[in-house]
Structure 1
Amino acid sequence: MHILFVDESGHAPPPSKADKVPVFVLGGVVIPEKVWPSLRDSLQQAKRRYGVVGEIKWRYFTKTHPKAKPNSMSHLTAEQKDSLRNDLLDAIVQHKSVRIIAAVVDTVAAYETSRINTADDLYHEAYKVLSERFQYFLQDVEREAGVRVSGLIVCDNRNSDQDDRLKEFHQSLLQGGTYMSSYKNFIEGLFIAASHHSVGTQFADLVAGAVFRNEARGDRRFAQHLASAFRRSSNGSVEGYGIVRVPKRR
């Protein structure tokens, strides 16, 4: 069993705000069930080491302003935050069976296509390409192992209406259709988990943040740290495998 944990960097903007949020990232980390306990232990040990009580979130690594609402990492210095982040990124890459897949959306270009008209459409299209690559990953593992390989998806929760619409969209993907992937390796429907209760979605949040920094800010440090974990083609290409772009580049 492999589990794809999914979280976003920022929020999918409506058409009127696409120019202000030109990049949206949906990040995913594929964790085999046998590896999950080790990543859980790495997260818990890191939190104890740095005195963090509560959730690890990418945005908490930024500088804490005096008037800002306190969070679980407010007590850490900038150097301690960097060290903690590096420890958690190390925890991902040290497991060779863990893989990263991220959907990178050019929001302005996406809204120029005929099929994307709302923020839901934008999020769902990113989710679709992410889930397709997860299915392809499962097929690859199954082919190499010579045994049946199953997978399921766990997403960070948003609001209840958004979560319900995403669950319905997920079910429509499983039912299939023209020009759609066959999700024959998936188990059940989509699972939604509050990130503060989910080890996997906290790691997915780190992946989404690292990819966003690379794509939107040109800050390659964190994506480079994770480079070995990205899903790749047989010739080592990340584009279209570990990084999937919406709309697809021609």
Structure 2
Amino acid sequence: MQLLFIDESGTAPNPGNATEVGFFVLGGVVIPEEVWVKLAADLKRIKAAYGVDGEIKWRYFAGDKGKRQTPLSHLSGEQKEALRTELYKALTAYKAVKIISVVANAPACYQNRGYITCADEIYWLAYKQLTERFQYMLQDLSRMIGHSVHGIVVCDNRGAQDDDKLRNLHATLMSSAGENVSKYQNVIEGLFIAPSHLSVGIQFADLVAGAIFRKFKAGDDRFYNQISQAIRTSSTGQIFGYGIVKFPKGTW
């Protein structure tokens, strides 16, 4: 069983603030069930070594002077950087762990796609493309080992109303195979939604989404380079379109 954990970085914007926001990222980490146990132990060990009691989130690594306390507030800037590096090393230590993410260029979405009219549609189309790549990965694994490999999707909770919308979208995707929708033969029906502080996988997905967002938003690939070896690729090593989907397609 393969587990796809999804979290986001940035906020899918409406047309009025698309240029200001720039990018929206859905970060996904695919973890085999047997590796999840090891990663959970790694996360517990690393947090204990740094005296972290609570959730790990990308935004907690920023300076928090004058802001509310976080589980990382007791760490210096150097210690936070060392902690993040340890977490990325733990994630990429397992070759079976794969990263699949979607990067949405918000201004281009509204400029080039007449059917996109609001933030929800950017989120939903990004989610569709992310889960499609998960299905393709499951198909590849099935062909490789000679029997069907299945997976489930686990998302961070976003609030009751948004979660209900996402559950309905997921159900629609699972049952609407056609010209523009993949046939999700390997994905177990039903979407699991969990608070990030209770999910090992979502905490790692948050760190992945943050690293990718930082690369595209600020042109800073320091963190992206630490996870790049785990990004899903084609048989020829191509990342874009396989492990990272740029939406909409184009030259950006």
Output the TM-score relative to the length of structure 2. Answer: 0.97
2:209 corresponds to which residue?
A: 208
The one-character-per-residue Cα deviations of 1:178-228 (angstroms, maximum 9, x if unpaired) are: 321110001121110000000000000000000011111111111111111
1:86 corresponds to which residue?
A: 85
SS of residue in 2 equivalent to 1:190:
strand
2:223 corresponds to which residue?
A: 222
SS of residue in 1 equivalent to 2:149:
coil
Counterparts of 2:249 and 2:162 in 1: how far apart (Å)?
25
Q: Check whether the contact 2:171–2:189 (CA below 8 A) recurs between aligned residues.
A: no
Show structure 2 runs of 5+ residues with no match. Answer: none
Counterparts of 1:45 and 1:69 in 2: how far apart (Å)?
25
Q: Check whether the contact 2:5–2:153 (CA below 8 A) recurs between aligned residues.
A: yes
Q: CA deviation at 1:14?
A: 1.3
Counterparts of 1:60 and 1:115 in 2: how far apart (Å)?
36
Counterparts of 1:200 and 1:143 in 2: how far apart (Å)?
26
Q: State whether structure 2 residue 243 is matched by structure 1 residue 242.
A: yes
Counterparts of 1:56 and 1:90 in 2: how far apart (Å)?
15
After TM superposition, the runs of 4+ consecutive aligned structure 1 residues lying more than 6 A away are none
Show structure 1 runs of 5+ residues with no match. Answer: none
Q: CA deviation at 1:233?
A: 0.5
SS of residue in 2 equivalent to 1:132:
helix
Counterparts of 2:114 and 2:180 in 1: how far apart (Å)?
16
Counterparts of 1:128 and 1:24 in 2: how far apart (Å)?
14
1:104 corresponds to which residue?
A: 103
The one-character-per-residue Cα deviations of 1:3-27 (angstroms, maximum 9, x if unpaired) are: 0000000211111110110111000
SS of residue in 1 equivalent to 2:188:
coil
Output the TM-score relative to the length of structure 1. Answer: 0.98
* RMSD, aligned α-carbons: 0.8
Alignment of 1:76-225 (within 5 A): 76-112=75-111, 113-176=113-176, 177-225=178-226
SS of residue in 2 equivalent to 1:40:
helix
Counterparts of 2:12 and 2:225 in 1: how far apart (Å)?
25
1:72 corresponds to which residue?
A: 71
Q: State whether structure 2 residue 56 is matched by structure 1 residue 56.
A: yes
Counterparts of 1:202 and 1:28 in 2: how far apart (Å)?
11
The one-character-per-residue Cα deviations of 1:150-193 (angstroms, maximum 9, x if unpaired) are: 00100001111111101101111111233211100011211100
Counterparts of 2:163 and 2:199 in 1: how far apart (Å)?
16
The one-character-per-residue Cα deviations of 1:44-100 (angstroms, maximum 9, x if unpaired) are: 1111111111100000001121x2011111110001000000000001110000000
Q: CA deviation at 1:235?
A: 0.6
What letter matches 2:50 in structure 1?
Y
Counterparts of 1:140 and 1:115 in 2: how far apart (Å)?
32
Counterparts of 1:180 and 1:165 in 2: how far apart (Å)?
18
Counterparts of 2:9 and 2:96 in 1: how far apart (Å)?
24
What letter matches 1:239 in structure 2?
F
SS of residue in 2 equivalent to 1:226:
helix
What letter matches 2:235 in structure 1?
S
SS of residue in 1 equivalent to 2:153:
strand
Q: CA deviation at 1:139?
A: 0.3
Counterparts of 2:171 and 2:179 in 1: how far apart (Å)?
15
Q: Check whether the contact 2:10–2:213 (CA below 8 A) recurs between aligned residues.
A: no
